[in-house]
Amino acid sequence: MDPNLLAELHGDKWRELSMLAKKNTLDPGQTQRFLDLYRDASKDLSRIMTVAPDSLEAARLSAIVHRSRNHLSAVPSGGLSGLSRFFVISLPLSIYRLRWDFLIVAASFLAVASLAGIWAGMHPEVLETFGDHAFRKQFAEHDFVDYYKENPNGFFAVGVWTNNAWIAVQFVLLGITGVFVVSGLFSNAVNVGFSGAMMFEFDKGSDFFLYILPHGIPEISCIILAAAAGLRLFFAWVVPGPRLRRNRLASEARSLLTVAGGLVIMLFVSGLIEGFVTPNPIPPALKIAIGVAYTALVIAYAWYFGKRAARAGLSADLDEHQAGYSVLATDR
């Protein structure tokens, strides 16, 4: 379609959208009108970009859509706009996009851990590969619990955080290999199952759950989310769909690296729980409730902001001109 004709037909709507984008607050009616105009203007911009990306109409409408998108996502201008975008759009939207990947990976992890624990518990010869009876007894009755108490709380929390954050970042960055993530998850799941089997062997199953659930629920959730991000990157490379492989991979990588940064922050809180809550002599139910509450808070955050950003048609990736795909110009 001719950009000039499109501007003549929809110019009034573009101006109305621009005026609404300049308002600090919108009532319900204006909000719905704003959303409708934003969607229409985005479609118009897409049409113009396919036929005349260097036209004045493209530059004009691109500025209106960009300003409207910032207003729609409640990202303030100024020095903190990048930080606000990260926490309000990029991070929650990236996590929200991984919700089904996360569920599949989580179900697989729990299945492997449960089957490994049951199998080891039913076959004593398997447990013997970890050590003799005295070694396993020492592990179940002392070492497993002492691990959480043998170091100062703060030192232990930082150590756990750095270790888990490094694992999460590796899962995302090396996810493109596919094999690294799958093998890492499998070995961790088997270790959890076998550890549980040794604890149950000496009637310490309650200690196993008491000391692993408070921090384990948010910690393992973060690691599984990192694995889901890594596998998404792998499939973007293997099955790029209709897009060019390099473009699909680059887009996914930029979005999923956001997840890696967010996981470093989330695992810090998980480390604090493991360092200060898990070994604390407070009621077991309260310990577990703290871990569950923190995990639920992260899920609610990602669901609310991520779903809102997805409905608005926003992206966790950079804009096309920021990513280097295109450059808008008003003259040659």
| Predicted confidence (pLDDT) per residue in 32-60, tens digit | 888 888 888 888 888 888 887 778 887 88
| 212-227 average pLDDT score | 94
pLDDT for the residue 73: 59
pLDDT for the residue 313: 78
Question: How far is the C-alpha of 48 from the C-alpha of 1, rounded, in Å?
Answer: 7
pLDDT at 321 over 80: no
Show the CA angle centred on residue 44, arms to residues 42 and 47, nearest 5°: 115
Question: How far is the C-alpha of 20 from the C-alpha of 233, rounded, in Å?
Answer: 38
Question: How far is the C-alpha of 179 from the C-alpha of 185, rounded, in Å?
Answer: 10
| 81-108 average pLDDT score | 89
Inter-CA distances, 53 with 4, 17, 45, 311, 318, Å: 13, 21, 9, 26, 18
| Predicted confidence (pLDDT) per residue in 234-244, tens digit | 988 888 777 77
Stronger pLDDT, 231 or 76, i.e. the higher one: 231
| 154-160 average pLDDT score | 90
| 202-223 average pLDDT score | 94
- Confidence label for 100 from pLDDT (cuts 50, 70 and 90): very high
pTM of the model: 0.72
Q: Are 314 and 93 in contact (CB under 8 A)?
A: yes
Question: How far is the C-alpha of 156 from the C-alpha of 278, rounded, in Å?
Answer: 11
